[in-house]
Structure 1
Amino acid sequence: MSDDGREAEAVIEYERTLTEVADRQAVDEAEDAVARAWIAELDDMRREGLRLAMAVRVAERVAREKLRKAQQLGHPHELAKAHAKLAATQAETKVSLGHANALLCSVDAELEAVCQAGMARTRRNEQDLRRLRSAWTAAYGRS
């Protein structure tokens, strides 16, 4: 094959590579947009989980304070009521904190997956740019 034939093939290969890289970059940009939206949703979920944990802790603190007041007043009926309320609140706290923890763990796992996918796209983009640079050099003889 002549040099002109090889050069023409190299130009065709460069153009094919350029099209592939451009197509993949368009997909990656769309995936990045979806990832940003998902991260915003995950951030909202994380805040909700933290609010839940904070709210149940506040409820437990209030129940403890009511128990202290009942102890200070010394009314047996109020004291029994305050003990029962604290026990119920502590049980609810345990369950609610378990739910909040599960939610936060799930959010963390999703965030990790989104980050890993983003890093994979970055590595793929770097490889694509190296391929494109190599194809351009083969077609046009300069780097």
Structure 2
Amino acid sequence: FARFIWRHLSLRHMVEVYRRSLVNNRPGYVSVDWPALEEAVDWIRAAGGVAVIAHPARYKLTRTKLRELITAGQEAGLEGIEVANARSTPAEVNWLAEVARQHGLLASTGSDFHSHEQRWVELGRLPALPEDLPHVLERIDAQH
């Protein structure tokens, strides 16, 4: 939908689409009813997946709030955290690797790729994970 608006309004950047059309009190805004954490984790696990917090550095949570999220998530069945993605800085990777170690979480990586228009994402080029961290793919491989 956003791409359709972007093309038909001839806007320069996709961010303009969101500012003009898709944020609260704009014509294209749709409110979202997010599921409870426990429900989301249950869905993931019922589908045979591994529940992972994706790109936690982007949420702008304090370290305390992230710890609270992880604790609540682990009580619900959370097993992993994304430690590195295409936009991660070395400092973020080191910090999130330590968070994973402290909480006994599996590590994951991700491109956060949504379209070819994301020129800052180079698919397949991700920061390396520290070798001591168990990767979420090891759990998935073991399940199949």
Question: Greater RCO between the two (CA within 8 Å, min separation 6)?
Answer: 1
Normalising TM by the smaller chain, what interval?
under 0.3
Q: Give the structure with the larger strand fraction.
A: 2
Structure number with bigger Rg = 1
Q: Give the structure with the larger helix fraction.
A: 1
Normalization by structure 1: what TM-score?
A: 0.20
